[in-house]
Amino acid sequence: MKKIAFITGATSGFGRACACRFAEAGWSLVLTGRREERLAELRDQLSDKGPVHTATLDVRDSQAVKAVVEALPSEFQAVTCLVNNAGLALAPHAAQKVDLEDWHTMIDTNVTGLVNVTHALLPTLIEQGAGTSIINLGSVAGDAPYPGNHVYGATKAFVRQFSYNLRCDLLGTGVRVTDIAPGLAETEFTLVRTGGDQASHDKLYGGTTPLQPEDIAEQIYHVATLPPHININRLEVMPVRQAWNGFAFDRD
């Protein structure tokens, strides 16, 4: 079986690192994201390693997702691994201070977008059968409540449960489904979450040892290349220097 990975959000962070890791191993790649220039740059960087097709895509737009999948050049059509990575957090302050639009953007991207891409590629993945994978980027934020996590964490809880539920329906098709749940990882995530606040980025990742995009790309590659009879349902990955904190109390 030819190995073809379809990666959403390949313009930055985990998605970009994942593209590099899969390219290194000789996979054909379909790379998507909204930032066209970054996609072109990545295609130029990786195309000496193997075939790369790029498509500018906002995953929130179900018609655009369908169009990109339908317009795949023939050599990229038989996708064997979907990495549902595109996602974001916004407005890291108390729920009661958040603009409704920010909640909608997170739901539209992390939930609707992921569902759009999954729906469009399911028939192809089922057709390819055993050894194919859907790898969804969840988060520890989908399990651990913390202040300012509000809708972001809830979207990642959706990703976890959707992944498990998909497994039930795909039983017998050979298609694997994994929810990968990283903890603290240094990408553009915090810049996006804070509206470009470099000081917040530096404060969060400084003085500790966060995961790097390549660490998660390695896990994604590992999951995608396991023998076809193995399904990792969920993989939670934290830096050694991160752990949970306790309950909070409102006191007199």
Ligand X SMILES: NC(=O)C1=CN([C@@H]2O[C@H](COP(=O)(O)OP(=O)(O)OC[C@H]3O[C@@H](n4cnc5c(N)ncnc54)[C@H](OP(=O)(O)O)[C@@H]3O)[C@@H](O)[C@H]2O)C=CC1
Q: Determine how β-strand 133-137 pairs with β-strand 176-182.
A: parallel
Among 184, 191, 232, 235, binds ligand L7H2UBRR (CB under 6 A): 184
- 141 near ligand L7H2UBRR, rule: CB under 6 A: yes
How far are the Cα atoms of 75, 130, 192 from residue 196, in angstroms, in the given order? 38, 42, 6
Q: Which does 59 bind (CB under 5 to 8 A by kind): ligand L7H2UBRR, ligand X, none?
A: ligand X
Would you tell me which residues interact with ligand X (CB under 6 A)?
Answer: 8-9, 11-15, 33-35, 57-60, 85-88, 109, 113, 137, 139, 182, 184-185, 187-189, 192
Residue 116: in which H helix or E strand, if any?
helix 114-128
Nearer to ligand L7H2UBRR, 80 or 110 (CB): 110
Nearer to ligand X, 42 or 125 (CB): 42
Tokens standing for residue 224: 């995608």
CB of 150 to ligand L7H2UBRR, least distance (A): 11
Q: Which does 137 bind (CB under 5 to 8 A by kind): ligand L7H2UBRR, ligand X, none?
A: ligand X
Q: Out of 152, 164, 205, 221, which one is annotated catalytic?
A: 152
Q: Which stretch binds ligand L7H2UBRR (CB under 6 A): 34-42, 116-124, 135-143, 206-214?
A: 135-143
Contact 150, 92 (CB under 8 A): no
Build a one-symbol-per-residue string for 91-130: x at contacts with ligand L7H2UBRR by CB under 6 A, - elsewhere: ----------------------------------------
What are the residues whose beta carbons fall under 8 Å from the beta carbon of 31, sequence distance 6 or more?
7, 10, 15, 19, 39, 42, 43, 52, 53, 54, 55
- 183 near ligand L7H2UBRR, rule: CB under 6 A: yes
Nearer to ligand X, 125 or 211 (CB): 211
How far are the Cα atoms of 61, 64, 114, 197, 233 from residue 58, in angstroms, in the given order? 6, 7, 11, 24, 27
DSSP letters spanning 14-79: HHHHHHHHHHHTT-EEEEEES-HHHHHHHHHHHTTTS-EEEEE--TT-HHHHHHHHHT--GGG-S-
Q: Which does 12 bind (CB under 5 to 8 A by kind): ligand L7H2UBRR, ligand X, none?
A: ligand X
- 221 included as an active-site residue: no
- Cα–Cα distance, 146 to 143 (Å, whole number): 10
Which residues of the chain form contacts with ligand L7H2UBRR (CB under 6 A)? Answer: 139-141, 183-184
